[in-house]
């Protein structure tokens, strides 16, 4: 087999950058082609590392998410040591307060203990769960650190370059057509998130999320009112160490419709204040939106494709930031060492291939 040296990664979000770093560390000559760096979902994400709080069912996806969460401490240190930039990893734990008492299992926190655990919760909270191993990373700081690490390692970075077509012949990608002309390499990796269907017939569609942030006043910074994530029903509240509090997120089938809307912002503010009333008085700092890459079964698409020299790493839906370290590791091993980890086996594009016998079972 011809050894791979030159690799083009299409997509400059957290997944594309993290794969670029792993492959560059292995010795590859890597180019990342990014259409619009700021539009990548990683810039919009709250950065929760929440396989348990998201209540992902037991199985391959939970295994993948927990493995990635467990990589975070060491991996974020590695990214910081290469880039010199702190990605803002914080194993702060996630508290999941509930407004209705529907649970009777052993982990359920009774009202007295949940209000003791976190002061300032709404009096309507009747209990909840505590997930100490979950946490967060400051997604914008992470993307910045990944970009700096790529620069330091000599990854070639092409921003504002749009790949318009992946040209294929004889079971291989021959070249890319881009806004800057043709480009070619020995191997290609697709990491274009919500935009993937513009280049390949794979079922990845945008699911819009609106977000906002408030800021704790300077006088209270030494004594932040929240030191853990609150993961409520249809709302999450993510305090950063610098006093910012990120509030998210809507989940809308709105295509790539830009902008925040009054209805979206109202939903966030109403749900957030209902959970943690003192937020009502904090100054709004920013509102923004992003596009999650959603697949029909809400699982990522990762691994080989129908073209021998094209690897897929897309469709991470609500878990792109969480799954960044494991995706980078699994995809780098697959491309560079031709080693397919068993963790990849449930995330093949073939589950959506009409020629696959199992498709009706999987969709």
Residues engaged in binding ligand GLY (CB under 6 A): 46, 48, 209, 248-249, 292, 318
Contacts of 201 (CB under 8 A, 6+ apart): none
Question: Residue 210 CB, nearest distance to ligand GLY (Å)?
Answer: 10
Nearer to ligand GLY, 46 or 200 (CB): 46
Q: For residues 348 and 305, is the Cβ–Cβ distance under 8 A? A: no
Tell me the HSE value of 164 on the side-chain side, using a 13 A CA sphere.
Answer: 6
Nearer to ligand GLY, 56 or 332 (CB): 56
Question: Residue 69 CB, nearest distance to ligand GLY (Å)?
Answer: 13
Nearer to ligand GLY, 48 or 150 (CB): 48
Question: What number of other Cβ atoms are within 10 A of residue 298's Cβ?
Answer: 15
Nearer to ligand GLY, 94 or 185 (CB): 94
Question: Residue 236 CB, nearest distance to ligand GLY (Å)?
Answer: 7
Angstrom CA distances, 221 to 115, 170, 284, stand at: 22, 60, 16
Question: Residue 258 CB, nearest distance to ligand GLY (Å)?
Answer: 18
Burial tier of 363 (Cβ tally within 10 Å: 0-12, 13-18, 19+): exposed
Give the end-to-end CA distance of the chain in Å, rounded to a whole number: 35
Question: Residue 333 CB, nearest distance to ligand GLY (Å)?
Answer: 25
Question: Residue 331 CB, nearest distance to ligand GLY (Å)?
Answer: 21
Nearer to ligand GLY, 187 or 208 (CB): 208
- Tokens 């000599």 correspond to what residue? 154
Token pair listed for 18: 């993290």
Buried b (16+ CB within 10 A) or exposed e, 258-269: eebbeebbebbb
Nearer to ligand GLY, 33 or 65 (CB): 65
Strand order in the sheet with 284-294: 127-131, 94-98, 229-231, 236-239, 244-248, 205-215, 284-294
Question: Residue 208 CB, nearest distance to ligand GLY (Å)?
Answer: 10
Q: What CA–CA distance (Å, rounded) separates 66 from 60?
A: 10
Give the start-end residues of each E strand in 227-279: 229-231, 236-239, 244-248
Question: Residue 27 CB, nearest distance to ligand GLY (Å)?
Answer: 34
- The partner residues of 209 in beta bridges, in order of sequence, read 290
Which helix (H) or strand (E) segment holds residue 214: the answer is: strand 205-215
Output the residue with the shortest Cβ distance to ligand GLY: 318
Token pair listed for 13: 């979000």
Nearer to ligand GLY, 48 or 148 (CB): 48
Question: Residue 247 CB, nearest distance to ligand GLY (Å)?
Answer: 11
Q: What CA–CA distance (Å, rounded) separates 193 from 35?
A: 12
Nearer to ligand GLY, 90 or 188 (CB): 90
Nearer to ligand GLY, 17 or 321 (CB): 321
Which DSSP category does 322 fall into?
A: T
């Amino acid at each position: 087999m011809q050894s791979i040296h030159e690799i083009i990664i299409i997509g400059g979000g957290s997944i594309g950058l993290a794969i670029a770093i792993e492959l560059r560390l292995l010795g590859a000559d890597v180019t990342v082609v990014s259409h619009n760096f700021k539009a990548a979902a990683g810039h919009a994400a709250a950065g929760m590392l929440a396989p348990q709080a998201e209540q992902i069912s037991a199985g391959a996806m939970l295994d993948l998410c927990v493995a990635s969460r467990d990589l975070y401490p060491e991996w974020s240190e590695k990214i910081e040591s290469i880039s010199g930039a702190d990605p803002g990893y914080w194993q702060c734990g996630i508290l999941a307060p509930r407004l209705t008492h529907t649970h009777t299992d052993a982990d359920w926190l009774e009202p007295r203990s949940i209000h003791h655990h976190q002061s300032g919760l709404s009096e309507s909270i009747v209990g909840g769960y505590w997930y100490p191993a979950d946490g967060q990373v400051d997604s914008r700081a992470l993307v910045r650190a990944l970009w700096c690490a790529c620069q330091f390692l000599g990854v070639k970075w092409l921003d504002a370059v749009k790949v318009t077509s992946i040209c294929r012949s004889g079971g291989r990608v021959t070249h890319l057509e881009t806004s800057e002309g043709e480009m070619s390499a020995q191997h290609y990796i697709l990491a274009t998130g919500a935009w993937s269907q513009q280049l390949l017939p794979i079922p990845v569609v945008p699911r819009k999320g609106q977000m906002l942030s408030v800021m704790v006043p300077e006088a209270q910074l030494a004594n932040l009112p929240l030191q853990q994530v609150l993961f409520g029903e249809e709302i999450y509240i993510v305090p950063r160490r610098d006093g910012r509090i990120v509030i998210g997120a809507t989940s809308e089938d709105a295509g790539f419709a830009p902008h925040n809307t009054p209805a979206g912002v109202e939903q966030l503010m109403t749900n957030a204040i209902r959970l943690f009333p003192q937020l009502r008085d904090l100054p709004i700092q920013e509102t923004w939106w992003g596009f999650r890459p959603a697949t029909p079964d809400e699982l990522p698409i990762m691994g080989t494709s129908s073209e021998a020299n094209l690897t897929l790493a897309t469709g991470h839906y609500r878990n792109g930031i969480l799954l960044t370290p494991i995706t980078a590791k699994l995809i780098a091993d697959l491309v560079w060492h031709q080693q397919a980890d068993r963790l990849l086996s449930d995330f093949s594009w073939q589950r959506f291939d009409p020629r696959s016998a199992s498709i009706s079972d999987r969709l």
